[in-house]
């Protein structure tokens, strides 16, 4: 901290830069529970997000209350757990819950990231993961165009809808697929947009729970497919935000 202030005093950084630097390393202690990284959004462009898995409703409510009405995102939250949390929150707490995407949002985020993302799913069962990505992106200010159920079993469906997406000038694609997970590869072989592949845990037997889809995407014979973990719609959205920030307000190379 002192170092930052010293640089400011020495005129090496501007007040705005100093402010940003200070913010970027602030921590909020939540008693016996968490050290909230308040600066993460400033530092990395992605807000801190609470993954609800392995945390009791009591703990999550405690975190929400500690953070106040700042835009907080909680993911992988099923409906019954959500309902328990809500009963523990103060009445004026502004809350939205998206059942399909299992996301809860407290307060509001600034709409900081411009851009337009296309999301494509292989099947109907992949929609919840795609929804998770969509909610995060829209929450941060992006436009999202979504196309669902165009898997490779009827590949003509894909062509029709992929063309529509491209005409809308989306800047990158998130492709969500379970089972054999071939859709991102097919898409990436057709367009020059960056493709982020998200395997889902749809599937059973050998290679089930998303393993075949994940390995398929890692082994893609089409160069330039990147992958996040199984069902990690949020991760894909987070990465998309980082790209869009570069696209729409790039560093000068």
Taking CB under 8 A as the criterion, which residues in 129-168 touch a second copy? 143, 148-157, 160-161
Please tell me whether residue 27 binds a second copy under the rule CB under 8 A: yes
Q: How far is the CB of 220 from a second copy (least distance, A)?
A: 5
Q: What residues numbered 201-230 form the site for a second copy, per CB under 8 A?
A: 201-208, 210-230
- Closest CB to a second copy among 79 and 94? 79
- Closest CB to a second copy among 92 and 204? 204
Give the Cβ contact number of residue 126 at 10 Å: 28
Q: How far is the CB of 91 from a second copy (least distance, A)?
A: 26
- Using CB under 8 A, which of the segments 11-19, 41-49, 80-88, 102-110 binds a second copy? 41-49
Kindly tell me which residue out of 71, 86, 95, 180 binds a second copy, with binding defined by CB under 8 A: 180
Count of positions on this chain that bind a second copy (CB under 8 A)? 110
d(CA 181, CA 184): 7
- Closest CB to a second copy among 94 and 99? 99
For 28-37, which contacts have Cβ atoms below 8 Å and span 24 or more sequence positions? 28/66, 28/67, 30/62, 30/63, 30/66, 33/59, 33/62, 33/63, 34/63, 34/66, 36/63, 36/66, 36/67
Please tell me whether residue 72 binds a second copy under the rule CB under 8 A: no
- Using CB under 8 A, which of the segments 8-16, 90-98, 104-112, 235-243 binds a second copy? 235-243
At 82, is the secondary structure helix, strand, or coil? Answer: helix
Q: Which two tokens stand for residue 77?
A: 């939250």
Q: How far is the CB of 72 from a second copy (least distance, A)?
A: 14
Burial 144-168 (b: 16+ CB within 10 A, else e): bbbbbbbbbeeeeebeebbeebeee
- Residue 231: in which H helix or E strand, if any? none
Q: What residues numbered 92-131 form the site for a second copy, per CB under 8 A?
A: 114-116, 122-125, 127
């Amino acid at each position: 901290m002192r170092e930052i202030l010293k640089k400011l005093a020495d005129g090496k950084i501007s007040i705005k830069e100093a402010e940003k630097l200070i913010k970027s390393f602030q921590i909020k202690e939540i008693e016996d529970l968490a050290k909230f990284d308040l600066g993460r959004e400033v530092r990395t462009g992605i807000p801190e997000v609470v993954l609800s898995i392995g945390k009791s409703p009591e703990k999550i409510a405690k975190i929400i209350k500690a953070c106040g009405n700042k835009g907080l995102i909680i993911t992988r939250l099923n409906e019954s757990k959500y309902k328990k949390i809500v009963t523990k929150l103060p009445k004026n707490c502004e809350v939205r819950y998206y059942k399909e995407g299992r996301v809860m949002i407290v307060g509001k985020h600034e709409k900081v990231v411009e851009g337009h993302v296309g999301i494509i799913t292989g099947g109907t069962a992949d929609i919840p993961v795609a929804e998770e990505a969509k909610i995060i992106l829209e929450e941060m200010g992006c436009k999202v165009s979504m196309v669902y159920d165009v898997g490779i079993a009827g590949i003509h469906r894909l062509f029709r809808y992929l063309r529509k997406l491209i005409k809308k000038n989306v800047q990158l694609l998130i492709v969500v697929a379970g089972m054999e997970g071939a859709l991102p590869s097919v898409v990436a072989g057709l367009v020059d947009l960056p493709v982020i592949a998200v395997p889902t845990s749809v599937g059973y037997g050998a290679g089930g729970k998303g393993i075949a889809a994940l390995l398929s995407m890692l082994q893609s014979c089409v160069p330039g497919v990147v992958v996040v973990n199984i069902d990690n719609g949020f991760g894909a959205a987070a990465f998309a935000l980082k790209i869009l920030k570069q696209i729409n307000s790039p560093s000068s190379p």
